[in-house]
Structure 1
Amino acid sequence: MTTADLLPLEEGPSLGAVLDPVLDRAASEIEAFQSGPELVRFKHSVHGGMEPVTELDLRIQDLITTALEQAWPGLPVIAEEGRESIGHVPENCVLVDPLDGTVPFLEGNPAFAIAVCLVRSGRPVQAIVDLPAYQVRVSTTGAELAVTGDVSRLPSFDPDTVLTSPRHTDLAARLLPSRPVAAVPTASVKMVLVALGRARAAAYLPAARGSAAPWDYAAAALAVHAAGGEARDPAGRNLARTLPARLDGWLATSHAPRPPGDLKPLMLPAR
Structure 2
Amino acid sequence: MEIIEADWTPPPGVHACVTTRCGGVSQPPFDHLNLATHVGDDPEAVAENRARLRASLALPSEPLWLNQVHGVTVTDERSATSCSGECATADAAYTDQPGVVLAVLTADCLSVVFVSADGRELAAAHAGWRGLAAGVLESTLARFKALPESIQAWIGPSIGPEQFEVGEEVRSAFMAVLPEAQTAFAPTGEAGKYLADLPALARQRLMRAGVKRISGGDLCTVRSPDLFYSYRRDGGRTGRMATLIWRHAQSAPTCDIE
> TM-score scaled to structure 2, two decimals?
0.31
- The structure that is helix-richer by fraction is 1
> TM-score scaled to structure 1, two decimals?
0.30
